[in-house]
Amino acid sequence: MRPVPSGVVLALDAGGSTTRALVLDPAGHPLGRAASGPGNPSAVGVEAALVSVREAVSQALAGAGAAVADVRSTVLASAGSDRLVPRETLIGHLGLDPGAPFRRVSDLLAMFHSAADTDTGAALVAGTGSVAARVRGGGLERVVGGNGWLLGDAGAGFWIGREVARAVTDDLDGTGAVTALTPALLAEFGLSDDRRPREGRAFVLGEIVDLVHAAEPVRLARLAPACFTAAAAGDSVATAIVAAAQEELAVLVRAVEGPGPLVVGGGVWRRSAQGPLAPGLRAALTGRTVLPAEDGLLGAASLALRALGLPTAPLRALRGTGRPA
Amino acid sequence: MRPVPSGVVLALDAGGSTTRALVLDPAGHPLGRAASGPGNPSAVGVEAALVSVREAVSQALAGAGAAVADVRSTVLASAGSDRLVPRETLIGHLGLDPGAPFRRVSDLLAMFHSAADTDTGAALVAGTGSVAARVRGGGLERVVGGNGWLLGDAGAGFWIGREVARAVTDDLDGTGAVTALTPALLAEFGLSDDRRPREGRAFVLGEIVDLVHAAEPVRLARLAPACFTAAAAGDSVATAIVAAAQEELAVLVRAVEGPGPLVVGGGVWRRSAQGPLAPGLRAALTGRTVLPAEDGLLGAASLALRALGLPTAPLRALRGTGRPA
């Protein structure tokens, strides 16, 4: 056995809404944790992302009573941002030892390792977007979905929110069924239910269309929780949207079938798993070992320890205890 | 009978890509025509729209050998722009006599009157977007669709283009069928077909996703013609998209059923009408009098003549002769 090194290891999960940092001792025990703002350059730009990452690192190290010079190994998990920030820029920006192992991995791969103890299996994330991957030999063998809100991400938060808004416009112009999603959307948008005709359509319908097109499209994802709530209360339009979303997720699950566990995560996944699953998704999951993961932080920690040849078993105790930050 | 007035009448169709102007004598005979750039304020902004409208008016009047002081009646057709430019601003900007009749009408209503000789019926436009209306008593009784690219406009150019891009990403990541739309899209985007794996997916797939999300979403409409071409050549994926688009248009047609003719227009409609119609659309059109219209210019002319109590019969001779500009 190699001697256990001194110092600490650093795990980072830089997401589109939150950046998480975890500092561990070489035996895999957590010493410090922190969270900051968005750390994904493609979501908020390079400058803002670097600020978030540095803030999380500083706070987690402070909590651990450690300095940046003590970091022996770093793994940063993020989605598709590797083209935007050169590795050397990140290392320099954080003040890390250029000679210590530093690895960037996809957020999918990190999430897989957050819950799985093998190098073979699959992962599915359904949050604002949706994406799945087959993992083999510790790398991404095949990625499906995740093509962004305009083309892909079917069955995830933006997709559900857009279906909600469409169902409401169909309700208001009479081409679709009456649904509880309409009052829910009006409440979310702060609009009163004024259906007096104006140039051949309900006044409030024009207001909704204007508001939706004036905002960032991906903001429609905020309507997804109302859809799950309305479905749970028995609204048939909302129930159909949730079922259609799960059938879309089933396509991703089937596309990454194979040996090993399926690690699942993301807010839409968690919300879906609370209710009855649609037949296609239930069938796609049959016979598979499904392991839930909160995010990629524990996986990044596991990979950071492995980069030094250190055991990762102590991390298992941290699983399923909620987000470690 | 009233005496025939001197002077001219002015018809305008201010669209998202082209503004058309037509100057007629009081007997309804065309004297001058012109076309200029985008005249819809919600598409290009108020300033640019006003410039286009004034340019088309000046050129059409010059062609007619008339001055702006000769205009006795004006009708301007445009889509949903009435909130952006006050009527008085337009009249002042064009230098029109404030005492002469000036009316703004929806582009749908103008298109209806371009082809129909009654005040009752329906209209369907399928261009970049899709919208339908029932016309009654010369006004819009009910409008369906037309909720913009993000929520609505199903079955029209943007919608088809997005389905094309989705089909291509599904082809490239293996979740969908192989389709001739893939080489067509790569040619349109100027990309080479590099499918070497990069982080678990084909390299060119990442390039497509980046390009699509970097451009204005509505630009996807430029992929629609390739879909009709591939469908005509027998590609099953393209054929399914065209059929699905027509079923969406059938929903709009059914929503505006009733007495009177159905006036139809828009590039996607014209292209669709060249091939076999999907069963749902064929059924929705059965028993209805379908009248094609190029745009709203002749309808605006008809309404401008009617505002002075003048007959509109001479306009019929201008129908179906291609765009009068």
To which residue do tokens 């952006």 refer?
B84
Q: At what angle do helices B203-214 and B157-173 cross, to 10 degrees?
A: 160
Q: What is the DSSP letter of A295?
A: -
The percent of residues in chain B predicted with pLDDT above 70, rounded, is 95
Determine contact: A137 vs chain B, CB below 8 A. Answer: no
CA distance linking residue B76 with residue A36, whole number of Å: 54
B94 CA to centre of own chain:
24
Report d(CA B108, CA B266) in Å as an integer.
11
Mutate which of B108, B131, B171, B199 to test chain A, going by most A C-beta atoms within 10 A? B199
Mean pLDDT of B257-266: 95
d(CA A88, CA A50): 13
User: How many angstroms away from the CA of B175 is the closest CA of chain A?
Assistant: 7
Distance, in Å, from the CA atom of A171 to the CA atom of A180, rounded to the nearest integer, reads: 10
| Helix residue spans in chain B (DSSP H) | 41-44, 46-64, 87-94, 107-115, 157-173, 181-189, 203-214, 224-232, 236-255, 267-273, 279-285, 297-306
Identify whether the C-beta of residue B299 lies closer than 8 Å to the C-beta of residue B309.
no
Instruction: Determine contact, residues B291/B262, Cβ cutoff 8 Å.
Output: yes
SS3 string of A218-235? HHHHHHHHHHHHHHHCCC
Instruction: Using CB atoms, pick whichever of A144, A165, A174 lies closest to residue B173.
Output: A144
Q: Does B88 touch chain A (CB under 8 A)?
A: no
Residue in B133, B148, B169 closest to A151 by CB:
B169
Alpha helices in chain A (DSSP H): 41-44, 46-64, 87-94, 107-115, 157-173, 181-189, 203-214, 224-232, 236-255, 267-273, 279-285, 297-306
In three-state secondary structure terms, A277 is coil
Cβ proximity of A315 and A19 under 8 Å:
no
- Low-confidence spans in chain A with pLDDT less than 70: 1-5, 80-83, 321-325
Residues contacting B57, CB < 8 A, separation 6+: B10, B12, B21, B34, B68, B94
pLDDT in tens, A146-163: 888 889 889 999 999 999
Domains in chain A (CATH in brackets) are 8-117+295-318 (3.30.420.40), 119-260 (3.30.420.40)
Cβ atoms of residues A130 and A138 within 8 Å? no
Check CB contact under 8 Å for A199 and B140. yes
Type of residue at B289:
T
SS3 at position A110: helix
Chain B residues whose beta carbon lies within 8 Å of the beta carbon of residue A143: 173, 199-201
The reported pLDDT for the residue numbered A25 is 96
pLDDT at A55: 97
Query: How close is the nearest chain A Cα to the Cα of B57, in Å?
Result: 26
Q: Do B169 and A152 touch (CB under 8 A)?
A: yes
| B 257-296: CB under 8 A from A | none
Flag whether residue B140 sits within 8 Å of chain A, measured between CB atoms. Answer: yes
pLDDT confidence of residue B1: 46
- Bin B20: left if φ > 0, else alpha if -120 < ψ < 50, else beta: beta
Chosen for mutation from B42, B106, B111, B201 (greatest number of chain A CBs closer than 10 Å) is B201
Task: Give yes or no for a contact between B249 and B130, defined as CB atoms under 8 angstroms apart.
Answer: yes
Largest CA distance in chain A: 79
Tell me the C-alpha to C-alpha distance, in Å, between residue A6 and each of A3, A33, A142: 9, 19, 37
Q: Could you tell me the two tokens for A36? A: 């900051």
What is residue A34's predicted lDDT score, i.e. its pLDDT? 97
CB under 8 Å to A201, separation ≥6 — which residues? Answer: A172, A173, B142, B143, B144
Find residues 21-60 of chain A whose CB sits inside 8 Å of chain B.
Answer: none
Note whether B212 contacts A173, CB cutoff 8 Å.
no
Scan residues 185-214 of B and list those with Cβ closer than 8 Å to A: 199-201, 205, 209, 212-213
CA distance A318 to A247: 32
Give A252's contacts in chain B (Cβ within 8 Å): 175
d(CA B135, nearest CA chain A) in Å = 9
> A287: buried, middle or exposed (CB in 10 Å: 19+, 13-18, 0-12)?
exposed
**Per-residue pLDDT averaged across B139-164, rounded?**
91
B219 to chain A: nearest residue by CA?
A150
Residues of B in contact with A212 (CB under 8 A): 148, 150-151
Give the bridge partners for B145, in sequence order.
B131
Mean pLDDT for B288-317 is 93
Query: What average pLDDT does the segment B211-217 reach?
Result: 85
Asked if the C-beta of A143 comes within 8 angstroms of chain B's C-beta atoms, the answer is: yes
Residue of B175, B181, B207 to mutate, interface with A, max A Cβ within 10 Å: B175
- Tokens found for residue B157: 């150019």
Give the position of tokens 């359904």.
A126
With contacts defined as CB-CB under 8 Å, which chain B residues touch A220? 150
Residue A98: predicted pLDDT: 94
Task: Tell me, yes or no, if B141 comes closer than 8 A to chain A by beta carbon.
Answer: yes
Q: Which of A143, A212, A217 lies at the smallest CB-CB distance from B200?
A: A143
Nearest Cα of chain A lies from the Cα of B106 at a distance, in angstroms, of: 8
The one-letter amino acid code at A14 reads A
Question: How many contacts (CB atoms, under 8 Å) link A and B?
Answer: 100
Nearest to A140 among B148, B199, B212 (CB): B199
Rounded CA separation B153/B131 (Å): 7
Q: Are A268 and A127 in contact (CB under 8 A)?
A: yes
B1 shares contact with chain A (CB less than 8 Å): no
Is B78 a residue whose pLDDT tops 70?
A: yes
* Parallel/antiparallel/unpaired status of strands B19-24 and B8-14: antiparallel
Q: Are strands B201-202 and B102-106 parallel, antiparallel or unpaired?
A: unpaired
Chain B residues whose beta carbon lies within 8 Å of the beta carbon of residue A106: 199-200
Using the Cβ of A166 and the Cβ atoms of chain B, whether some distance falls under 8 Å is answered with: yes
Q: What is the pLDDT of residue B80?
A: 65
With a cut of 90, say whether residue B178 has pLDDT above it.
Answer: yes
CA distance linking residue B219 with residue B62, whole number of Å: 35
Residue A250 CA to chain centroid, in angstroms? 17
**Interchain CB contact of A253 with B (< 8 Å):** no
CB atoms closer than 10 angstroms to residue A99: 7
Q: Is A104 on the interface with B (CB under 8 A)?
A: no
Task: Give the pairing of strands A262-265 and B19-24.
Answer: unpaired
pLDDT computed for residue B324 by the predictor: 40
Angle between helices B236-255 and B224-232 (to 10 degrees): 110
Output Rg (C-alpha) for chain B, integer angstroms: 22
- Least CB-CB distance to A143: which of B106, B150, B199? B199
B150 with A213: Cβ contact below 8 A: yes
Residue B323 has pLDDT above 50, yes or no: no
The confidence score (pLDDT) of residue B146 equals 86
Which of A134, A201, A217 lies closest to B143 in CB terms?
A: A201
> Contact A166/B151, CB-based, under 8 Å?
yes
Residue located via tokens 């390739």: B226
State the pLDDT at residue B285: 96
Task: List chain B residues with CB under 8 Å of A213.
Answer: 148-150
Mean pLDDT of chain B, nearest integer: 91
**A136 shares contact with chain B (CB less than 8 Å):** no
Contact B200 A175 (CB under 8 A): no
pLDDT of B325: 36
Region B246-256: mean pLDDT is 96
CB atoms within 10 A of CB A125: 29
